[in-house]
Amino acid sequence: MIIRSATLSDAPGMARVHVDSWRTTYAGIVADEFLARLSYARSEEMFRRFLAPGSPEGAGQCTFVATARDGQPEVGQIVGFAHGGPARTEIPGYSGELYAIYILREFQRRGIGRRLVRAVAESLARSGRDSMYVWVLAANPSRRFYEALGGRLLRSQQIQIGAQSLEEVAYGWQDIQALIDAASRA
């Protein structure tokens, strides 16, 4: 896998990963009707807005994609991405946030998630952020990934996804360098 900064031309591939990952990861958690209404076109437009050069929506943010190498299906195919930036929720002691990380199911458990988290954390550290948190649905079994990276459970809140009220939890790392180190280990 190759991890690199996302460009505007990556928006269609990121949209595919975003929609397909939601449909596999959140099946049985988020209502089937909501998942069925997800749209590649709407997702692509969202990515185009914040990836556009000079976009105010993307200011201070970083986005990385994981792409397939030679010998793998569709060389250059985007198989995952991560997006982060300044903290959007006031959590005392935390200045950065991992907004999203999605990896196609067939490419999970290969170390791609760790590499994407590391890329975002390193970018946030370079921009002067010394800590980071991420929100994840409490019912998502992948939340153990953040625990394995040393994330500390910070708080929970209710959110609306479609007509559903679901619990999400925040995991945080007060020392972003410790997260970078944990994500660097195989």
Structure tokens at 146: 């953040």
pLDDT band per the 50, 70, 90 thresholds, residue 125: very high
pLDDT of 77:
87
* Domains delineated in the chain: 2-184 (3.40.630.30)
Say which residues have a Cβ less than 8 Å from residue 160's Cβ, sequence separation at least 6: 166
CA dist 138 and 160 (Å) reads 13
What would the mean pLDDT of 148-165 be, rounded to a whole number? 94
Chain centre to alpha carbon of residue 108: 13
Structure tokens at 16: 């595919």
pLDDT of 185:
82
Q: What's the pTM value of the predicted model, to 2 decimals?
A: 0.90
Rg (C-alpha) for the chain, rounded Å, is 16
Contact indicator for 16, 40 with CB cutoff of 8 Å: yes
pLDDT over 90, % of the chain? 78
